[in-house]
Amino acid sequence: MLDSLYQANENEWTGCHWQTEFGPRHLNLSRVRSHQARWMAEATSGEESNDWEEATRFLTQVETDSQTARCAAKRAVAMAKSGEFCTAMAEAQIAVDLEKQYPKTSHWKKLLDAIAAMKSNKF
């Protein structure tokens, strides 16, 4: 069950997938990757280039957080399968907490709940 929860969610949050009005130009960064924002920063000049530079930093952070959450979720699954439920819950909580920083991201909460249920059934 945990493997299927992980697999169902591992690629659901990889970056910004919500509508934005980022910066003074109200850039919509939904589905834009950091490398694409970098290209825009290089292709433009002045204030527009600065806005895309800022967007690049933001998107890089989102992508890093999503990768960190995915790794924590993977560790949580491994720990739970080994019977280390407290550690598994702590790892899953890391993934959940990272997601909470961003709108429309709640993919790892189901995993945390499943591990908590498994822990309850073991004790």
Q: What whole-number distance in Å separates Cα of residue 70 and Cα of residue 96?
A: 10
For the entire predicted model, the pTM comes to 0.91
Q: What whole-number distance in Å separates Cα of residue 75 and Cα of residue 78?
A: 5
Closest CA to 103 of 65, 73, 74: 65
The pLDDT tens digits of the residues spanning 6-27 come to 999 999 999 999 999 999 999 9
Could you tell me the CA-to-CA distances from 103 to 1, 20, 22, 43, 69 in Å, in that order?
27, 10, 14, 29, 15
Q: What whole-number distance in Å separates Cα of residue 31 and Cα of residue 8?
A: 19
Q: What whole-number distance in Å separates Cα of residue 107 and Cα of residue 15?
A: 13
The pLDDT tens digits of the residues spanning 56-108 come to 999 999 999 999 999 999 999 999 999 999 999 999 999 999 999 999 888 89
